Chains A and B, each alone.
Chain A
Amino acid sequence: MKVLVAMSGGVDSSMAAALLVEQGHDVTGVHLKMADTPSGLPGKGCCTLDDARDARRVADRLDIAFAVWDFSAVFAERVVDDFVSEYQSGRTPNPCVRCNERVKYAALLDRARAVGFGALATGHHVRLRRDADGTAHLWRAADPDKDQTYVLYMADQRQLAATLWPVGEHHKSSLRAMAAERGLLTAAKPDSHDICFIPDGDLAGFLRPRLGQRAGTFIGPDGQTLGSHEGAYRFTVGQRRGLGLSGRRQPLYVTAIDGQQVHVGGREQLRSSRLLATGMSWIAGHPPASGGVTAQVRYRGRPLPCEIDLNGEVADVQFSNDEPEGVAPGQAVVFYEGQECLGGGTITRSWSQTSAASA
């Protein structure tokens, strides 16, 4: 099959390309230029000239065709602008979810099919399983520490029918060893952790020039004003450090963001027994019929048993014993049954047992 591999210049997508070549596919690599980095300065993260070159050299080594496509305008419009406006609205967006939803498995997949590829592959750590009738199932990666199903919950059957994720079958350490065996220069390249378009990790520094000063107040657990801040977008639900509220008996956490008001409270107030989510997407095409479902509310969160009540487009999710901490509106809630990812949606609000509705 003619397969297009999105090659970021990292070890995972390098190995995705290598494995597909070895499986006998007709592989072409494409590097997506997601941002303008005209200076060519060395940098970490994604989408630097170093990454473009690394991707190209891996493609050369594998003797596959290679191209660079300019996605910078699409990425800025569909991911970065959305990221900024979500923070402006007091939510905590997940740009990787948006990128997969609106760029990689939308614009890129459509382009790949339009120019004649049968499938698109990326270096994501997830596993695909297909029934005899072709129905696709999304499974957590073989390496649980690297699992990326959380940012791919929105995949539908049409997309999965044209997708390959070969690296999800392997542990990261063995992928590095396999890359080294194959002489790929990305074998020892460090993992990227930060948001790719904020390579220095300074979120507030990225948002400040875009959102400016938006003074507001900190509201304590009993509704009292505890202090002032220069913009609610600098805070995330669950955040403890950098609040500038020292000298308290117990550590304070951000429990909710409401306009320019940042609510803070004790750790126990971070727990939520219930949340609402919209924009529900189910990999099977329909919600799960049976119980035994778990929900995960952040990228590296724990899946917790829950009950889902669907009212049209809105999912009402209740946790019984084990309650998640730091549920942030704007993040995804993703549902699992064992190792299988069922789908998910975007969190709009949550409740804790000890306080009234937040956000």
Chain B
Amino acid sequence: MTIYLDHAATTPVDPGVLAAMLPYLQAEHGNPSSAHRAGRAARAAVEHAREQVATALGVAPLDVVFTSGGTESDNAAIKGIAWAARAAGRGNHLVTTAIEHHAVLETAEWLAEQQGFELTVVPVTTDGIVEVDRLLDAVRDDTVLVSVMAANNEIGTLQPLDVIGPALARRQVPLHTDAVQAFGRTHLDITGWSLGAVSLSAHKINGPKGVGVWVQARDLPVQSLLHGGGQERGIRSGTFNAAGIVGCGAAVELAAQTMTTEVPRLRWLRDRLLSGLLAVDGIGLNGHAERRLPHNANVAVDRCNGEALLFALDMAGVAVSAGSACQSGATAASHVLAGIDAPADKAHVRMTCGRSTTQADIDTAVEVFGDCVKRLRDAGGGYL
């Protein structure tokens, strides 16, 4: 049996979410853009989902755009806002941080390398948190967009958007936030923090894969990435993914409604996990101890190779992760760990709890982890 501690990678679809989706894969097959009765039924479901998301996020329903997921939302927001601002003559400069998700970082780098934008990538502290002054110092008169994630996907660190957002708003610089990991696990105040654009993904919160949310304030000009039939205010064409959108709405609502009980439970499980892991000799925490997502543990293990430890844990039935996967399936070096100066000769393991995680899972995982580390160290650490 596998103990799944990789909920930052993806989560199982909640049964209630699946039940909500099924009619739109079967009987209610209409195209939500069609004018007839079948279309209207599907459209009603899409708009209901939009309201569920809007309510959970505290934004207007028309600010909510459905996409194919977090990566599309990041691309659409960053490219779209950058292009529109440049076309309006507002400037040419982008700011982001060194520990953003690839969907943000690669997009910003592409704009710099291929589209003539200037890019400033602001480093973070060894705790994995961006320094507000440093970020604001990087903003110039010609800065058209700043993108800062709400919480990091690898080390779980929370970024000070409550300070950054209002400060940027005073300077009238729009802020995009990748909140894929943060939503449902920590407080997110889109309006209060003046977030102009936000990315979410359904599958990180017990929804289906292949659907996400792009919150795009209507007063923030944007160009379209996908041209076509003009769905979603004309900024995201493509036939509505009715079942996926319904699942996304249900998952967002579920996450928002259960946060008050689920967040303390996840934090308790994570703390139990972490105290078990840190009791092993030569294991330390990556990222800030308090300012991090409640479900995230990321540890540095001395005298072990990461690839070998991950494999040993997999063989022992504990699913965890490190870094991100490259095309061939090997684990690629992590820019996040490099960004916090984590030593490359240690194993870095991310373990993330979720809705289905139990205390027994945690206790078994701690035991298996300790055994694997001991066996690997006894055999030299699994280095090549």
Instruction: From the candidates A56, A65, A68, name the one contacting B315 in the complex (CB within 8 A).
Output: A65
Nearest A residue to B329, CB-CB: A68
Let me know if A289 is at the binding interface, CB within 8 A: no
Q: Looking across the interface, which residue of chain A has its beta carbon closest to that of B380?
A: A114
| Interface 9-mer from A69-77, A336-344, A348-356 | A69-77
List of A residues within 8 angstroms of B376 by Cβ:
114-115
Residue among A69, A111, A115, A116 making CB contact with B330, cutoff 8 Å: A69
Residues of B contacting A33 in the complex (Cβ-Cβ under 8 angstroms): 326, 328, 330
A interface size (C-beta, 8 A): 24
Interface size class of B (residues with CB under 8 A): 20 to 34
Additional 9 contacts, C-beta under 8 A, given A65-B314, A111-B308:
A33-B328, A52-B329, A65-B315, A71-B384, A110-B379, A113-B379, A114-B308, A114-B382, A115-B312
Which residue in chain A gives the minimum CB-CB distance to B305? A111
Closest to B379 in A: A114
- A178 an interface residue at 8 Å Cβ cutoff? no
Interface residues of A (CB under 8 A from B): 28, 31, 33, 37-38, 40, 49, 52, 56, 65, 67-71, 73-74, 107, 110-111, 113-116
Q: A33-B328, A33-B330, A70-B330 are in contact. Are A110 and B311 (CB under 8 A)?
A: no
Which of B307, B308, B311 has the largest count of A CB atoms less than 10 A from its CB? B311
24 inter-chain pairs at a CB distance below 8 angstroms, sorted by A residue, are A28-B315, A31-B329, A65-B315, A67-B314, A67-B329, A68-B328, A68-B329, A68-B330, A69-B330, A70-B330, A110-B379, A110-B380, A110-B382, A111-B382, A111-B383, A114-B308, A114-B375, A114-B376, A114-B381, A115-B308, A115-B312, A115-B376, A115-B382, A116-B315
Contact residues of B: prevailing secondary structure: loop
Contact at A115–B311, with CB atoms within 8 Å? yes
Asked if B329 and A56 make an inter-chain contact with CB atoms under 8 angstroms apart, the answer reads yes
Across the interface, which residues of B come within 8 angstroms of A37, CB to CB?
328
Cα distance A113–B382 in the bound complex, in angstroms: 8
Q: Which of B330, B379, B382 has the most CB atoms of chain A within a 10 A radius of its CB?
A: B330
Q: Give Cα A107 to B305, complex, Å.
A: 12
User: Known: A69-B307, A69-B330. Contact between A116 and B384, CB under 8 A?
Assistant: no
B residues 66-96 touching A (CB-CB < 8 Å):
none
Bound Cα distance A71, B328 (Å): 12
Which residues of chain B are within 8 angstroms of A70 by Cβ–Cβ distance? 307, 326, 330-331
Chain B, range 170-194, C-beta contacts under 8 Å to A: none
Interface string of B274-316 (1 = CB under 8 A from A): 0000000000000000000000000000000101100110110
